[in-house]
Structure 1
Amino acid sequence: MGHMLFIDQPLNVGFSYSGNRTGTQQVSSSNEGALHLVNFLYNFYREWPKLAASPLYITGESFAGHYIPAFAREILLNETFKAATKVNLKGVAIGDGWVDPINQFNYYDSLLYSAGIISNKFREDDYVINTAGVLNYLNSVNWNYISNWKRARKDVWRINNQIRGWAKTYGNLWFVLVNRAGHLVPTDQPESAFNMFGHFVRDDRNWNQ
């Protein structure tokens, strides 16, 4: 059995509030937000210590592409927190994430042009995260095995013999494209989203099912 924990983050977003929505109590950076999340997890595991042994997956979408890497990094580097909680961080998953604006933003015009939406290539910033931009930043990641990732094959992803997209994995780095889905994949394609996450938590790389 797994447990799902939803967090409104950063502070003063949604139901996460401090009583003061102005001034010095506002979060000003992803790293500051990460410290708040680690503090939250510390208190959570102190209240329910048995859950600390369960595999922890941090997930989110869109602008969480900024917060999730910072959160995971803080967990991995915070030796005091790890010693106190024995946290078992297994992975992070970012859906349609705004992670690296420099390497993502320049692909909006290419996306619109290749889709036949515009006749001339020009900058248009009303469109959400696109596949070409995400792949561009993944190919730019500073990682010892990035050349292997670039050469990794794309596997067609099927559910009950129906093509749902494709996946590319190497080591701990995964990319999955979900067919007929917009910015909110679980809303547009809930069955595919559920199946994809199952592959991830089981480390199941057999996509032809």
Structure 2
Amino acid sequence: MRPATVFLLSALIIGSLEAKPNIKNFFSKHFFKDVYGTIDANIKVGDAGKPLILTDLIQQDQIDEAQAAAEVKLDAFLGVKSYAGYFRVDEIYDSNLFFWFFPSQSNFEKDPVIVWLQGGPGAPSELGLFGEIGPFDIIGDKLVLRNTSWTTSSSILFIDQPAGTGFSFTNGGYAQNQTKVGDDLYEAIYQFFQLFPVLQSNDFFVAGESYGGKYVPALGYTILKKNPTGEIKINLKGLAIGNGLTDPKHQYKFADYLLQLGLVDDKERDMLKEIENQVAEKIDNEDWLEASKLIDDEFDAIDSTADLADIHNYLVNYSDFDDFDTDELGDFLRREDIRKAIHVGNTPFQKDGNVYANLQADIPKSVAPLVAELLEHYRILVYNGQLDTVVPYSTTVEYLQNLDFVSAEEYKNAERRKWRYGSDVAGYIKSAGNLTEVLVRNAGHLVPADQPEWALDLINKFMTNNL
């Protein structure tokens, strides 16, 4: 993708995959706004058949047959080996999560396995696959290989989740909280390791960005609680959260930050602070839906005052999008041969806004207590792009400064270290116990898209405990 194309990954603006929006409106839409109404649920894709649900084969212990059925075979994928299909995660609601798995290009049987969780709520994992960390980039209607893919040294599992996101589907079983998110994801991960038993002893990491700041801890916590009784012990070693929303009360504080950047003046700052105070009050009173609506109001206010071309990176201009084609990914995923190859059949892509609507009241809720407990057992990387105005670095630090975990005092007094990549200072690191906090320079909300080489270096060093 061209440099501007990475901003297709805006965690919520999935409508762009279905219709061409006005570029300015597309990129000024807000992070937690429900704009799914533009999606056409009845896209004509020819006859790509039925989706491949692997759960029955797995339960019948027909593992070889399931692997063979899931293998993706199409010249368009440039010889890159992958597997795709569905795991049924809820029998009552017939909830099925779509996955696309890419074995490591180095040592498949020994390299770590990473599950990547996109944000949203409601953003499909294909955004991270094609725009950030997967083995491919899209140029026009063709794929090209990405030399900074995380698959160079790890196996990567992409999952469309929660149910109803992307190619995943459900008959009303939408998640309304992170407990349901964690339960469904755990079921998918458990079936994945049944499907690939050779990987059960490999190091396993959960990674994600944006609203993944909730998904990642939710899955990690569910693994922590269910591992003792599970026949398969998931070998979780760590979690990585990029520009993640985890603790909204401490992270929805944009006013002073935007004033310091010169993007608002004193009067506008005071107006934003008033909204933020109202959000905090609603959170304290557990009035979740009203808090969520006020959050939308604040993003509206930021848009009308700062008029940023892309709220995910405040240095981007509208003119940077002149040659941007928002249809490339959508066109690719509509193709009949692609749909057959990845075994989604005629399943509509992102049918409606039910995922967002059902999680809207979840947006203001904190999962910081889960992070605190997880830090007693696993290493956690929290990284932030320097240029993000959706989840600013300063607000991530505030949440971590208020996190009640075993190494809290050590973190508050930790020395900041430089992280170098070649001759460049890629960022700055603080470590305390199992927590590693990193600021990534010259990156916005989507660090692997803005700084792909640095992001690859960061995740590899984290997994090998070498930061």
Structure-2-length-normalised TM-score: 0.41
Identify the match of residue 8 of structure 1 among 160, 168, 177.
160
Match of 1:109 in 2: 255
Is the 8 Å Cα contact of residues 165 and 177 (structure 1) preserved in structure 2? yes
Contact 1:57–1:92 under 8 Å retained in 2: yes
The count of residues paired between Structure 1 and Structure 2 equals 198
The aligned counterpart of 2:201 is 53
What is residue 203 of structure 1 aligned with on the other side?
465
* 1:95 pairs with 2:242: yes
Work out whether 1:17 is the aligned partner of 2:17: no
Matched residue type, 1:184: L
CA distance in 1, matches of 2:203, 2:243: 23
C-alpha contact (below 8 Å) 1:68/1:92 kept by paired residues: yes
Residue of structure 2 equivalent to 1:65: 213
Matched, 1:32 2:180: yes
Is the counterpart of residue 159 in structure 1 residue 421 in structure 2? yes
Percent of residue pairs identical: 34
C-alpha distance in structure 1 between counterparts of 2:409 and 2:187, whole Å:
36
Amino acid at match of 1:80: T
Task: State the TM-score, normalized to the length of structure 1.
Answer: 0.91
Q: Aligned partner of 1:113: which letter?
A: L
Q: Find the structure with the greater CA-based Rg.
A: 2
Gaps of 5+ in 2: 1-106, 108-153, 273-297, 303-388
* Alignment pair present for 1:86 and 2:233: yes
Higher relative contact order (CA 8 A, sep 6+): 2
Aligned partners of 1:190 and 1:137: how far apart in 2? 26
Structure 1 position 186 matched with structure 2 position 448: yes
Equivalent position to 1:129, from 391, 399, 417: 391
1:58-110 CA distances to partner (integer Å, 9 max, x unpaired)?
Answer: 000000111111110110011222xx11211000001000111001102x011
Deviation at 1:41, TM superposition (A): 1.4
Quick check: 1:49–1:85 contact (8 Å CA) kept in 2? no
Match among 109, 119, 122 for residue 265 of structure 2: 119
Q: Distance between the aligned counterparts of 1:36 and 1:117, measured in 2?
A: 41
Quick check: 1:103–1:136 contact (8 Å CA) kept in 2? yes
Task: Give the 4+ runs in structure 1 shifted more than 4 A.
Answer: none
Distance 2:429 2:407 in 1: 18
Q: 1: distance between equivalents of 2:155 and 2:232? A: 17
Does the CA-based 8 Å contact 1:64-1:94 persist in structure 2? yes
User: Residue 36 of structure 1: CA displacement?
Assistant: 0.5
Residues 159-196 of structure 1: CA deviation (Å, up to 9, x unaligned):
11211111111221011111110111111111111111
What displacement does 1:45 show?
A: 1.4
Q: How big is the shift at 1:53?
A: 0.5
